[in-house]
Amino acid sequence: MKSFFKNVGVLIALLLTLTHSSFAENDDSAPQLLKTDSRFILHGNKMIDPRSIEKIDSIGKELFVKTGVNVYIYASEHYSSETFSDTATKMAFIKSFESKIVNNLKDPFVLITLSLDDTHVNLIQSQSLNGLVDKDKILNSYIVPLLASYDKNSVESKVSAALINGYSSTAEIVAEEKGLKLDSAIDGSGRTFAKIWKIFMYIIVLGGLLVYFYALWKDKRKSR
């Protein structure tokens, strides 16, 4: 029960990070967030809500001061306007494109990349980290589910939520592996959503199996 309320609190904190200033827009006395860039966002700050940018910058700075590790984001609507003839050619281009970004980064680092039109998201870490961050866990649990969710939220809202979720989780993992804790991170970010998503997928699979076996059973009864 304690864990449940903690996770609910995490989701509320994440939502407040993205939406709290909407109530302040009509209040002239409320401080306005004007920061729209961060040294940790290499590209794509226009795709991310300013409130998320501020939080990413706060987490990134604390992580770097405490561990010396930089976590970066490179987000774009597309890496190229070119239409590729096949998937292999497209992936080769993406790999080459991301390699150029990595070549300009100083070790140690983690880089989260996103290309909306290419439906591509990736996590790259420098060799010195030796696979410290579980790439599949970050992408499949904290980023992709939010990007792929079918709801009325705008693309900017989804991108912002997905990236801050993945960014915070990545930073927390780096800090935890070094025996540290980040005060600025969204504690346990996205864990509740990830659990709900997995349960939802299990229900779909189980439901499909039940329908399948019911159809077989019904066919057998008819054939008797």
68: confidence class by pLDDT, cuts 50, 70, 90: very high
Residue 203 lies in a domain: no
Residue 38 lies in a domain: yes
Per-residue pLDDT of 20-67, as tens digits, reads 333 333 334 444 445 678 999 999 999 999 999 999 999 999 999 999
Residue 205 lies in a domain: no
Instruction: Report whether 159 contacts 114 (CB < 8 A).
Output: yes
pLDDT of residue 187: 59
What whole-number distance in Å separates Cα of residue 48 and Cα of residue 97? 21
Residue 155 lies in a domain: yes
Residue 198 lies in a domain: no
For residue 94, what is the domain's CATH number? 3.10.310.50
Q: Which domain holds residue 53?
A: 2-190
Record the tokens describing residue 222, joined without a space.
Answer: 């008819």
Number of structural domains found in the chain: 1
Predicted confidence (pLDDT) at residue 189 exceeds the cutoff of 60: no
72 phi and psi, to 5 degrees? -115, 160
The secondary element (H helix, E strand) that includes residue 72 is: strand 70-76
